[in-house]
Amino acid sequence: MMKNCPILYAEIRALILALLFSLPTSAQFFDAEKSNAAMDAKIAIDWRIQDENPEPINLDAKIEEATIENALSDLRKIAQRLGISLEEVEAERKNLGAGDGERREFYEKVCRMRREARLRESNLRGKSIVFTKHFLLGGSHYAYTEGQSDAQAERQFSKGSALCLLDVTPEGKVVQRNLISDPNGVIRDPAVTFDGKKIIFAWKRSDRLDDYHLYEYDLETSKTRQLTFGLGVADYEPCPLPNGEIVFNSTRCVQVVDCWWTEVSNLYRCDKDGGYLRRVSFDQVHTNYPTLMSDGRIIYTRWDYNDRGQIYPQGLFQMNTDGTAQTECYGNNSWFPTTILHARGIPQSHKILTVLTGHHTRQKGKLAIIDTTKGRQENEGVQIIAPIQETKADRIDAWGQWGDQFQYPYPLSEKDFLVAYSPDGKMRFALYYMDVDGNRELLAADDRTDCGQPFVVEERTPPQERPSSVDESVDYGVYYVQDVFFGPGLEGVDRGRAKKLRVIGLDFRSVGIGSNGNSGPAGGAMASTPVSVGEGTWDAKILLGETEIYPDGSACFKAPARQPLYFQVIDEKGHCIQTMRSWSTLQPGERFSCLGCHEDKNTGTMLRPGIAEAMQRGPQELAPIYGPPRGFSFEKEIQPILDKHCIQCHDNRHKAPPFATGDLAKWGEEQAKTHPAETNPRPFSLLNEKNVDAAAKRQWSDSYLNLVNAMRKDRTSARQTRVVNWIDIQESPALLPPYHAGAAKSALLAMFDCEKPHNDVKLSREELDKIALWIDLLIPFCGDYEENNAWDDVDWQKYHYYMAKKRAQATLSEANYTRWMEYTSSGTAYDFAPALAVENTYRALNSEATLEGDRLNFSGRVSIDQLAIRVTNQGDDAPKEVVVEFSTGFRHSQKYASSAETRWVPLPTQDVEWVKITTPEGCEVELWGIATPPFKLDAECWRPY
């Protein structure tokens, strides 16, 4: 009957799913010790969904028979692998009666046997699994999960969470209990240390008065210890290392996304106690979810868009535990996968289990296995699983957001794993055991929130840790390129044309002030705190220097450590042949080598006779690019050339450049012929007269806007022409061919670098090189984020606030690198206790006040956002009234029944000087918050009181 009613079938399936993951009215949704019957019902419903019959009431005997056969077929396969006899079950099936109840009872018996067999095969029996309950992480984009208390824009936070332990008994039963329950905060990202004794996790206990910080839970003592501190910075996604240290994500870099306003996270490292906290990655925007491979590499997602579109390049990266060898692992020159997230190495394998998702999505998507030996771009090495299916190389922003959804896979082998899963992508995520074919067993579910982030609690054999090659006594590293012509980057280019390797540093923004827009093949976006008009460079570019490319194509040079930088291959005219639209970072003393330009990383070696010339000559110092390292500023580098050679004629502010109308062949004196009736026939302006852009909050010059053919309505954006032709920042994420765009394709250079230059203007080699450099850097206007701003007082206050934070965190990281070097060389540990003692952490505040009667007086002001109330039974079961009055006039009065559990009462955040607490006997009241103000700000530092 149901086969003939597909619409009815779909509606019933949706109804059953809703029942399985529905929202109850109970407020005790974080109690792990729920009714076993309720969990059994969820498991039974999930069985039917798997077996393609979600209807628990028999409507059609044929469907019931098919459902039984589906379950029995699965059981037969597992029984054959495990050597289990099913003779009695098969006999019972043959003698099965026609009654509805009998068939249903037999079906559930088969499902129980299948569940027991699956868990037996999983090797989980007798083990424990830590997991979390919290809201679905993510905001408008896949990455925005920091929820920082002083966020510049998005602050994703939905209170209510628990750290849970799931025990799989030797008999195969699943028992769940809470380790920590926080109805007013969020607990996330549990990871177990290699000895199996401690859980490292992140915890944020208040929206505005706390941030995510690292904590340790001791499984033997049940004690919790905070490891990292500081209001206004978020530490999360910890990855314990074999030596006890922790790599984690943090907003301590104090940066914002280039194409939005939200905080950025980079990788940091600290010891097991939270000491020696120091920065490891120096990336443009987000890094996500560091995990340790069995070979000792750390893999993580890096959002990577230097001089290209921002939507697609969220590839998988890798590095050593000391931060060296930061390089692509998969998909950094791909449209697909849009985003690689929640990646973990599969035990005893080189393969990686991961979630493929989109860009403008939350953290959920499709499950896949990555095998880098099959390729590293597009769908070459990616296989969607659960079930195994065709994997197309799509170009979709919000990829993978249809149908069932996955999060946080934890591989047990190449065949099976733990995973957070939603059967239709709309209901709550629950915790499952699953195999690559999608066969599954429900382990934990909660009616009010999502379950996920599983991690098996057991002692693990740590991978061999590589000796660190970091040398803190120097401030540079060394790059070696064997042959720039090896690989597709310079394909088709004459070997004699590559003369120099230009090294450019990137300066990333810390504050979002003003914006403009861009668009192109890879999509469109806004650019915050823009340093160019729309379509121009995302970031400020720093001229670090250049080095010689020897005739054999090799190069070897020193470069600043802990500085994101990229390379450009330059020809004999000073024009860019090929550019790196990503970046690389060295640690002090690191030596990093590559075979060529965008070579296949699966290529082992390149055979060549003799030793490369660069290797013979050794590392070279970078030669300056017409001056010391500096941010490239149009006003400082290009405008002086225009002032010297051009503005004598080009001073007409009322005339548009000829290429703006499409007449690209007409320049200079031709303007008088094409516009004879004009009273001022002089050419368009190349003056340094400023034009205020209210949206971008910049003052662009006439010369800049005219040369880049800028539209001046709404958000100012430029349009490439034959005259000035640069790589669009919304170009394809894939490798571009040599000479795709740039100075070599711009008529502006050809007009002057010739026998008969325009108006007989002769430019020097330096002047020509600087103009070429400007175009090949993607037309930057500002050399830093302050230059030529149009900010008001509020903008400046915001800027100074976050820059002070940035300086303080950078100073802390640098100091801790020095302390770490001293510790590793001398063995004498640095005492961090005094520093931690002054940290202004979110905490119980009662101890900071003096008690006068029933009134608590604080020495200054405190900011309070919740009460913790516990009422114990003193022989009287009647509810007891707790009254709390604040100096602000706010009053809380409520009756509470006795309970062993603490009740958390959220309050409007308020600054108070005293609190009056009236409680009957047997009542305990804590005030939670922070001292205020949380920090003081001056020109040099940001620090807690």
How far is 433 from 451, CA to CA, in rounded Å? Answer: 13
Q: Which residue has the tokens 């250079």?
A: 749
Q: Is 804 helix (H, G, I), strand (E, B) or coil?
A: helix
Q: Identify which has the larger pLDDT, 488 or 100.
A: 488
Q: Identify which has the larger pLDDT, 657 or 873.
A: 657
Q: What is the pLDDT of residue 665?
A: 37
What confidence tier does 655 reach under pLDDT thresholds 50, 70, 90?
A: confident
**Element housing 75 (H / E):** helix 61-82
Range from 269-273, 612-616, 710-714, 813-817 carrying the lowest mean pLDDT: 710-714
Q: Please provide the distance, in angstroms rounded to a whole number, between the alpha carbons at the two ends of the chain.
A: 72
Residue 34 has pLDDT above 80, yes or no: no
- Nearest alpha carbon to residue 324 among 477, 473, 474, 463: 477
Q: Identify which has the larger pLDDT, 930 or 622.
A: 622
Cα-flanking dihedrals φ and ψ of residue 106, to 5°? -65, -45
Range from 303-312, 452-461, 895-904 carrying the lowest mean pLDDT: 895-904
Q: What is the mean pLDDT of residues 90-111?
A: 84
- Nearest alpha carbon to residue 259 among 359, 138, 136: 359
Angle among Cα 671, 672, 673 to the nearest 5 degrees reads 90
Q: What is the pLDDT of residue 22?
A: 41
Q: What is the pLDDT of residue 667?
A: 37
- How many beta carbons lie within 10 A of that of residue 98, not counting itself? 7
What confidence tier does 837 reach under pLDDT thresholds 50, 70, 90?
A: low
Full-model pTM: 0.91
What confidence tier does 920 reach under pLDDT thresholds 50, 70, 90?
A: confident
Mean pLDDT, the chain, integer: 89
Residue 418 has pLDDT above 70, yes or no: yes
Q: What is the pLDDT of residue 575?
A: 98
Angle among Cα 441, 442, 448 to the nearest 5 degrees reads 165
Residue 650 has pLDDT above 80, yes or no: yes
Q: What is the pLDDT of residue 399?
A: 97
Residue 696 has pLDDT above 90, yes or no: yes
Residue pLDDT, tens place only, 579-593:
999 999 999 999 999
CA atoms within 13 A on the CB side of 693: 31
Q: What is the pLDDT of residue 610?
A: 82
Q: What is the mean pLDDT of residues 489-514?
A: 96
What confidence tier does 600 reach under pLDDT thresholds 50, 70, 90?
A: confident
Are 407 and 363 in contact, with CB atoms under 8 Å apart?
yes
Residue 17 has pLDDT above 60, yes or no: no
Q: What is the pLDDT of residue 859?
A: 86
Range from 680-694, 707-721, 750-764, 778-792 carrying the lowest mean pLDDT: 707-721
Residue 936 has pLDDT above 50, yes or no: no
**Element housing 679 (H / E):** none
Range from 161-165, 305-309, 634-638, 678-682 carrying the lowest mean pLDDT: 678-682
**Amino acid found at 753:** D
Residue 613 has pLDDT above 80, yes or no: yes
Are 902 and 868 in contact, with CB atoms under 8 Å apart?
yes
Q: What is the pLDDT of residue 32?
A: 45
The per-type count for the chain, helices as H runs and strands as E runs, is 14, 45
CA atoms within 13 A on the CB side of 445: 31
What confidence tier does 491 reach under pLDDT thresholds 50, 70, 90?
A: very high
What confidence tier does 840 reach under pLDDT thresholds 50, 70, 90?
A: low
How far is 883 from 905, CA to CA, in rounded Å? Answer: 12
How do beta strands 352-357 and 339-345 pair? Answer: antiparallel
Query: What are the CA-CA distances from residue 184 to residues 203, 206, 209, 647 (Å)?
Result: 11, 7, 12, 64
Q: What is the pLDDT of residue 668?
A: 37
Q: What is the mean pLDDT of residues 405-412?
A: 98
Residue 7 has pLDDT above 80, yes or no: no
Q: What is the pLDDT of residue 53?
A: 65
Q: What is the pLDDT of residue 16?
A: 43
Q: What is the pLDDT of residue 5?
A: 34
Cα-flanking dihedrals φ and ψ of residue 642, to 5°? -65, -40
What confidence tier does 606 reach under pLDDT thresholds 50, 70, 90?
A: low
How far is 596 from 63, CA to CA, in rounded Å? Answer: 61
Residue 872 has pLDDT above 90, yes or no: no
- How many residues does the structure list for the chain? 945
Q: What is the pLDDT of residue 875?
A: 64
How far is 810 from 945, CA to CA, in rounded Å? Answer: 19
How far is 285 from 854, CA to CA, in rounded Å? Answer: 51
Q: Identify which has the larger pLDDT, 390 or 28.
A: 390
Range from 430-439, 673-682, 876-885, 910-919 carrying the lowest mean pLDDT: 673-682
Q: What is the pLDDT of residue 605?
A: 63
What confidence tier does 35 reach under pLDDT thresholds 50, 70, 90?
A: low
Q: What is the pLDDT of residue 15?
A: 41
Range from 88-102, 371-385, 392-406, 572-586 carrying the lowest mean pLDDT: 88-102
Q: Is 831 helix (H, G, I), strand (E, B) or coil?
A: coil
Q: Identify which has the larger pLDDT, 678 or 760.
A: 760
